[in-house]
Amino acid sequence: MQLNKEFMLDNITRKRIDDCRDILVGKLPDPKSQIEQITIALIYKFMDDMDKESIDLGGEAKFFSGDFEKYSWDSLFDSKVTANEMLKLYSESIESMEKNPNTPQLFRDIFKNAYLPYRDPETLKLFLKTIGEFEYTHSEKLGDAFEYLLSVMGSQGDAGQFRTPRHIIDFLVEAVNPDKTDTILDPACGTAGFLISAFKHIKEQNHGKLTPDDRKKLIKNFIGYDISPDMVRLSLVNLYLHGFSDPHIHEYDTLTSEERWNENFDIILANPPFMTPKGGIRPHKKFSIQANKSEILFLDYIIEHLNGTKKAGVVIPEGVLHNNYATYKSLREKLIKDNLLYAVVELPHGVFKPYASVKTHILLVDYKIATKKDDILFIQIKDDGFTQTGARKPIGRNDLPSALSLLQDYKSGSKLTSDISYNLVTKNEILNDKCLSLVGRRYKAVHYANTSNYPTRKLDKKLIRIFKGKSGAQSTEEGDYPFVVTAENFRTSKDYSFDCKAICVPIVSSTGHGHASVRRLHYIEGKFALANIMCGIEVLNEEDLNPKYLYFILSAMKEEIIASLMTGTSNVSLDKDDLYDVEIPFPDIITQNKIVSSQLKIEDEIKQMQNKIKQHLALLTNEGKKIWN
């Protein structure tokens, strides 16, 4: 399995799809409208091809027969038919196809409310000519072409329905490992990507062993819900082109409708919408929690609708895993106490670019595995095979295959070794955590000092005081006091808010390269103003802890500790009180003082060296000017 490829698609087919869009763009600038027209035309041509195949085998035309015979592909392209007549015939056909008595319900649903939104005969003729170049020797090849077409739509951003990249879908499905007897649901199926990937996975796992009867039973096991009729149409086409003769996709509001509440499944695969409409969701009263956020309701729905072994793979925004509200915490507690969750895979911020920069994780649920484990496996994906920029260009680094191996070793009880970042956290530690966080890097951060040769100590409230900055970051009033901001150099302020020795730490972060990063920490003594996007740490007893030692330690571990403690779906920030949980190497005060003296000496030598370099550069510049003159 090649997780760094979206799907296999030959260049000729890709070019034809691009050509179709280029032809339509002058009349239909909206990508969604282009996709709808290409979808209808592809199915139209596919139906005609099936009629021709039936005739070749000695049968009769099914779709374009009787009153609909005049709409066949050959009739449209008859040399006697003008471009204007072609437009009239094609427009009539797609508008009336849902009433065709010879058309199965699936195709009627696809053509429901279809129409031609432009009236340029030459554009239509060129468009249909390009559609006619597609070869339908194998429907799955066309299915891959259709998925490429769907990829240009990318996002239904208003609903938070960001298209899940194919390699992430395939990774999640392989991690869950569905079997041919499992019933599978996607409660927010979009274009049915998870269902198709699961279908392919099962076929690969049972290569050559599935009988025709097995395949029929298998197809009945796949169910999808979606609130959008457009998504339902697209998913029906996508499934049909991937071998589903009778796909089961329902237009259904999973969170507010009750008709299907009693339908349970062996496996649920989902990337639910992240956004909640203004005013919140108004769910029915069968949910076990009281909430109005879509992401938390979907997760609760998934937990409530699992059968027996209770297997699921869900993409979820980071906020759900760290939010301190009671409903969020209770749901996380349920995942652990009910032996559902066994692993969490952290994805980079750039996975959904260019449509959104959101921090997401994959929750892996399996009752059979979780009941045997006293801990939860957390895996951090730093690279997913693509850049973390809007361009999302392929790169050589890809942690996903290693993550799959790590998950397999964990499930089988083998010794864990990997070249990617992971950690095991006991369920008790998570349940005793003040916010019951399921962000794995948080636990790695607070225990990071355990790798030191010195004894460690937690930065508790007996040792330090943490305070938040008060001054607006945009303050421009010049004055006599240092104004500490996230930048390399201080500004000045007319007023001051604090008077102490302090280590100043940023509490907000950019998300460059797919993860939070901290530019630098500051150390200051005396009176100063502190930006409200910073917090300060004051040492309460300098006989135990040298403030400059703490500054050097935290600066050295700022990415491993401070950046790792920052959480958030899109706006990444630090809860300053989390710093109280951090452990640091804690030698005796004499050793601390020696370390500080040594570090100050090194910094002084670096400054002297920098000054010498500046002096040499100045001399060289002056000599250069003399020569030039």
Separation CA 520–CA 512 (nearest Å)? 15
Confidence (pLDDT) at 291: 82
Q: Which residues contact 298 (CB under 8 A, 6 or more apart)?
A: 187, 188, 254, 255, 270, 272, 273, 314
In the DSSP assignment, the letter for residue 561 is I
Measured from the Cβ of residue 466, the count of other Cβ atoms closer than 10 Å reads 18
Q: Which fold has domain 155-446?
A: Rossmann fold (3.40.50)
Confidence (pLDDT) at 9: 53
Q: Return the closest-CA partner of residue 286 out of 308, 320, 257, 329.
A: 257
Asked if 505 and 464 touch (Cβ cutoff 8 Å), the reply is no
Q: Return the closest-CA partner of residue 238 out of 200, 268, 271, 264.
A: 200
Is the pLDDT at 613 greater than 80? The verdict is no
Strands 534-539 and 498-506: antiparallel
> What residues pair up with 517 in beta bridges, in sequence order?
510
Distances (CA, A) of 126 to 18, 32, 130, 309: 13, 20, 6, 53
What's the CATH number for 455-587? 3.90.220.20
Q: In what order do the strands lie in the sheet with 248-251?
A: 248-251, 222-226, 184-186, 265-270, 306-317, 360-366, 341-346, 375-380, 421-426
Domain boundaries defined on the chain: 11-140, 155-446, 455-587, 600-629
Mean pLDDT comparison of 341-345, 358-362, 416-420, highest-scoring range: 341-345
Q: Could you give the count of Cα atoms lying within 13 Å of 551 in the half-sphere of its Cβ?
A: 21
Which tokens is 623 given?
Answer: 């000599």
Confidence (pLDDT) at 4: 37
Q: Return the closest-CA partner of residue 334 out of 376, 303, 370, 307.
A: 303
Q: Where does residue 413 fall: left (phi above 0), alpha (psi -120 to 50 degrees), or beta otherwise? A: left
Phi and psi, residue 311, nearest 5°: -110, 135
Q: Residues 127-149: pLDDT tens digits?
A: 999 998 876 655 556 666 677 77
**How many residues make up the chain in this entry?**
629
Separation CA 258–CA 494 (nearest Å)? 61
Instruction: Report yes or no on whether pTM surpasses 0.95.
Output: no
> Burial, 113: exposed, middle or buried (Cβ in 10 Å; 0-12, 13-18, 19+)?
exposed
Separation CA 223–CA 226 (nearest Å)? 10
Q: Return the closest-CA partner of residue 250 out of 193, 301, 195, 189.
A: 189
Q: Which residues contact 341 (CB under 8 A, 6 or more apart)?
A: 335, 363, 364, 365, 370, 376, 438
Which tokens is 615 given?
Answer: 């002096």
Q: How confident is the model at residue 629 (pLDDT cuts 50, 70, 90)?
A: low
Separation CA 88–CA 243 (nearest Å)? 32
Give the H or E element holding residue 129. Answer: helix 121-131
Please name the residue that has the structure tokens 């302020």.
493
Asked if 40 and 24 touch (Cβ cutoff 8 Å), the reply is no
Separation CA 314–CA 624 (nearest Å)? 65
In the DSSP assignment, the letter for residue 576 is G
Separation CA 508–CA 497 (nearest Å)? 20
Q: Return the closest-CA partner of residue 386 out of 514, 567, 543.
A: 514
Measured from the Cβ of residue 132, the count of other Cβ atoms closer than 10 Å reads 14
Please name the residue that has the structure tokens 């049968």.
59
Separation CA 336–CA 40 (nearest Å)? 46
Confidence (pLDDT) at 7: 43
Q: How confident is the model at residue 510 (pLDDT cuts 50, 70, 90)?
A: low
Asked if 504 and 435 touch (Cβ cutoff 8 Å), the reply is no
Long-range contacts of 419-426 (CB under 8 A, 24+ apart): 420/379, 420/380, 420/381, 420/382, 421/379, 421/380, 421/382, 422/377, 422/378, 422/379, 422/380, 423/378, 424/375, 424/376, 424/377, 424/378, 425/375, 425/376, 425/378, 426/374, 426/375
Q: Residues 89-101: pLDDT tens digits?
A: 999 999 999 888 8
Q: How confident is the model at residue 476 (pLDDT cuts 50, 70, 90)?
A: low
Section 454-480 average pLDDT: 84
Q: How confident is the model at residue 414 (pLDDT cuts 50, 70, 90)?
A: very high
Asked if 350 and 387 touch (Cβ cutoff 8 Å), the reply is yes
Report angle CA 460, 462, 466 to the nearest 5 degrees: 60
Q: Return the closest-CA partner of residue 263 out of 274, 247, 252.
A: 252
Average pLDDT of the chain, as a whole number: 86
Separation CA 377–CA 62 (nearest Å)? 55
Which tokens is 431 given?
Answer: 């349940």
In the DSSP assignment, the letter for residue 531 is B
> Burial, 95: exposed, middle or buried (Cβ in 10 Å; 0-12, 13-18, 19+)?
middle
Distances (CA, A) of 36 to 110, 150, 237, 344, 540: 10, 10, 11, 37, 66
Confidence (pLDDT) at 379: 97
Which tokens is 364 given?
Answer: 């892996």
Section 278-288 average pLDDT: 78
Is the pLDDT at 499 greater than 90? The verdict is yes
Asked if 374 and 427 touch (Cβ cutoff 8 Å), the reply is yes
Is the pLDDT at 108 greater than 50? The verdict is yes
Section 519-526 average pLDDT: 92
Q: Residues 202-261: pLDDT tens digits?
A: 999 998 788 888 888 899 999 999 988 878 888 888 888 788 888 999 999 999 899 999
Please name the residue that has the structure tokens 């108004």.
282
Asked if 93 and 45 touch (Cβ cutoff 8 Å), the reply is no
Is the pLDDT at 69 greater than 80? The verdict is yes
